[in-house]
Amino acid sequence: MDVKNILGGLPNFSFPLQEKNSSEVCALTGGFAPLMPAVDLSLLKKKPPSDKKVIWRWLPFKNSARKDDLQLHHWIQVVNGVPPTGDYSFAKYNKSVDITRYTDEEYEKYLANPKWTKEETDQLFDLCERFNLRFIVIADRFPSSRTVEELKDRYYSVSRAMLIARNPSSTDVAMDPLVQEPYNVSQEMERKRAQSLILSQTKQQERRDEEVLAEAKRIAELRIMTKVDLESELDVASKACANVTERANPGETVSPSNTELPPIVVSSMTSTDNASTIASLRMLYVYSRTYALGQMVQSASSSAGLRTIKRVDQTLQELGVNLKPRVPTKTVCAEHLELRNEILTLLNLQKQLQNKEVEGSSFRDGSHCETTGTPKRLHRGGDQDLTFVPDNTSSGGERIGKRDQKRKSLNKFCMLSLGGNRNGVAICGALLIGIVNLVLSSSELNYWQF
Amino acid sequence: MSQSQTLPLKRHQDENPRDDDSSDIKPSRLKISLPSEDSDKKILIKRVKDVEICVPIVYGTIAFFLGRKASESQSHKWTVYVRGASNEDLSAVVKRVVFQLHPSFNNPTRVVESPPFEISECGWGEFEIAITLFFHSDACEKQLDLYHHLKLYPEDESGPQNTKRPVVIESYNEVVFPEPSEAFLARVQNHPAVVVPRLPDGLNLPSPVPVEPMNDKERGDTKDHPLNHWFLNFSEADELLKLAAARQQVQAHIVKLRRQLTLMEGLPQSKQPSG
């Protein structure tokens, strides 16, 4: 109504109004009637007319579980005029245990026991029958004081003996749990004692136990993990070699023929160094030299990262050595491996040097090279390096040139700083000579791409 | 695959009558091992530890362009082979060789039972050939697989192919028997195709038993093979030289770096930013 006024009268929409004030509602929904639920909810609660007529009647009943003829009454449903048939529905729960009773002769033959009189055993069995093997109650009712375990022991051993005696050759009897799992008194007593201990633990004790268990679990897991790591490293090493097949490169193929063996054998080793690879190779009845070399290379570089392996390969190429020897004889392979190991050592040393340099650079920020006799010294250091560059690399010459330039510029820098910082000369000259030398050589090393 | 077991030496004294002075053979030198596939026979093989038999071989292909006789489907005639590295007879060690060719060939599985272990074929395509070596039973029950890529066309595609110059690709390898059986060692210890290291003193080998039918109708070596002038020479000397030179360089560099490191170690601690 107010909307209509505001809008100056709405255009010709005829809203099917079913509720009061629904013009606003209609306007909200865009001029159409709001959606109605498809099913009327009130109808859902109604039940379909059933064809059964049920009434409740107060009727008498008899219980077959009872030994007397007691008749009681109760309310019961009567459907279509027919009262319920059948036994009382709870009668089926009246179950009892079958207890085999012995005869006197059987007792004399098999069941005599010094700790038990016949009378006591009879009493026990009566009670067992009466109370359905509820030993707590039986123990309570037992005339002489006997523990539950003793009673159980006597009952089960008697039953077992009788079972075996009555069916000496039957195999079914052998399967009977009575025969297969005899009652163990001491075990039961121990178990109950332990149980009561646990149940009577205080909260503090519980917490402490939990901590100890968690610690033990952690240690065990750690041990398993390290063992699995070692094994998986070995597996990976041997499997990785098995997957190496540079078949596109003619003349340099590896033959991983016996690979079904190594993973099985190698996992029994406990270390990944050369000795274990050699041992695992020995387990193969035959292998090719290239395969053996591949395995050794794998195991040697198993601890190194992928980048290091690439750098080793690069170094080998720069030195003019085939990554895979063309004539892989025993000596050649041995030399090749040694060379690889030495290159690894070299790379490690370089890394160490770099790290040291990074450490030292934070010290050097404040003081630049302030020495007098440096230029000659630097030059000499450079000469030493010159011989190292492999002669056959054409780029070697260029590199040397660049190094010279670098040195020269650094020299100039030193001279300049000398002029500016005379008071700084107080710093030990020898120290600085050393540092500058190192700076230059290590930067030269960086330059020589390893 | 059954594992090797070490048994006390006394057990097999009766098999090999020994003198008293050879009783100083260390028990660890001999080992008993069960053959891998003889589960029903369970013959005990005596193996020699610390002695490794090495058989240097060369395997590869030689491919000739057929020139005028070439057709679409048969442009090259090639041979794939396995030979001793010094052209010696391999049949003392190798029982047979199986070459697995491309499936487009008729009967792609070619078995060669006697030397020379080679297959010649005509074709037009390059593919990978699987070469499987089977050894005599006293050497090894297991086979060894090698792979070789057949190359028909030369690296430099300069001009038409020459029918006289084949494309030769060979690979050198060594077949190693890490713990050879006594019988095998006895049989081949003086064979030219086999490299046997210096045997330890006191090792008493049984008298050699010649193995399955020796091929006496033809020589097994490839010294007079029709293609042998194309065979490449594999000398370890060059490789060793290069390796030695490289090692020297690396060692020198290592020494230098070590020196520098120790120098550096002495410095930064004592250095204090002063005035």
Domain boundary among A141, A176, A199: A199
Report d(CA A401, CA B243) in Å as an integer. 28
Position B211 in a domain: no
The enclosing domain of B90 has a CATH number of 2.60.40.1970
Q: How far is B20 from chain A (nearest CA, A)?
A: 31
- pLDDT at position A407 is 52
In which domain, by residue range, is B158 found? 54-195
What are A321's two structure tokens?
A: 């050595």
Q: What total of structural domains would you count in chain A? A: 4
Predicted complex ipTM: 0.78
Chain A and chain B share a number of CB contacts under 8 A equal to 183
- pLDDT at position A380 is 44
pLDDT band at A272 (very low <50, low <70, confident <90, very high): low
Q: Tell whether the model's pLDDT for residue B62 goes beyond 50.
A: yes
Whether B234 sits inside 8 A of A326 (CB atoms) is yes
Whether A326 sits inside 8 A of B254 (CB atoms) is no
Q: How far is A260 from chain B (nearest CA, A)?
A: 10
Q: What angle do CA A72, A78, A84 make, to 5 degrees?
A: 60
Q: What percent of chain A has pLDDT over 70?
A: 66
- pLDDT at position A437 is 57
Residues A132-169 as b or e (16 or more Cβ within 10 Å = b): eeebeebbeebeeebebbbbbbbbbbbbbbbebeeeee
Regarding whether A63 and A117 lie in a shared domain, the answer is no
- pLDDT at position A436 is 54
- pLDDT at position A140 is 92
Q: What total of structural domains would you count in chain B? A: 1
What pLDDT, in 10s, does the model give residues A98-127?
888 888 888 888 888 888 899 999 999 999
> CA nearest A357 in B: which residue?
B264
In which domain, by residue range, is A59 found? 54-93
pLDDT band at A188 (very low <50, low <70, confident <90, very high): very high
> Which residue, among A84, A88, A86, has the nearest Cα to A72 in the 3D structure?
A88
End-to-end distance of chain A based on CA atoms, in angstroms? 88
Ranges A292-301, B141-150, B201-210, most confident: B141-150
Regarding whether A224 and A304 lie in a shared domain, the answer is no
Position B230 in a domain: no
Of A251, A257, A342, the CB nearest to B247: A342
* Residues A304-323, mean pLDDT to the nearest whole number: 89
- pLDDT at position A182 is 87
Regarding whether A190 and A141 lie in a shared domain, the answer is yes
Residues 6+ apart with CB under 8 A from A410: A369, A378, A436, A440
- pLDDT at position A246 is 42
Tell me if chain A has a CB within 8 Å of the CB of B126.
no
Residue A71: phi and psi, rounded to 5, are -115, 130
Strand residue runs (E) in A280-398:
287-288
Token pair 């009727």: residue: A59
Which value, in Å, is the radius of gyration of the alpha carbons in chain B? 26
Bigger pLDDT: B65 vs B157: B65
Position B238 in a domain: no
Domain boundary among A362, A382, A409: A362
Q: Tell whether the model's pLDDT for residue B85 goes beyond 80.
A: yes
Q: What is the DSSP string of A212-248?
A: HHHHHHHHHHHHHHHHHHHHHHHHHHHHHHHH---TT
Regarding whether A317 and A330 lie in a shared domain, the answer is yes
> Which residue, among B149, B175, B20, B178, has the nearest Cα to B93 in the 3D structure?
B175
pLDDT band at B24 (very low <50, low <70, confident <90, very high): very low
What pLDDT, in 10s, does the model give residues B95-145?
999 999 999 999 999 999 988 899 999 999 999 999 999 999 888 889 999
Tell me the β-bridge partners of B54: B176, B195
- The count of other CB atoms within 10 Å of the CB of residue A446 is 13
Regarding whether A216 and A195 lie in a shared domain, the answer is no
* Residues B45-49, mean pLDDT to the nearest whole number: 79
Report d(CA A436, CA A381) in Å as an integer. 10
Token pair 């059954």: residue: B2
- pLDDT at position B216 is 53
Position B266 in a domain: no
Position B140 in a domain: yes
Regarding whether A150 and A112 lie in a shared domain, the answer is yes
> Which residue, among A153, A141, A137, has the nearest Cα to A188 in the 3D structure?
A153
Q: How far is A253 from chain B (nearest CA, A)?
A: 6
Regarding whether A159 and A171 lie in a shared domain, the answer is yes
- pLDDT at position A80 is 80
- pLDDT at position A164 is 86
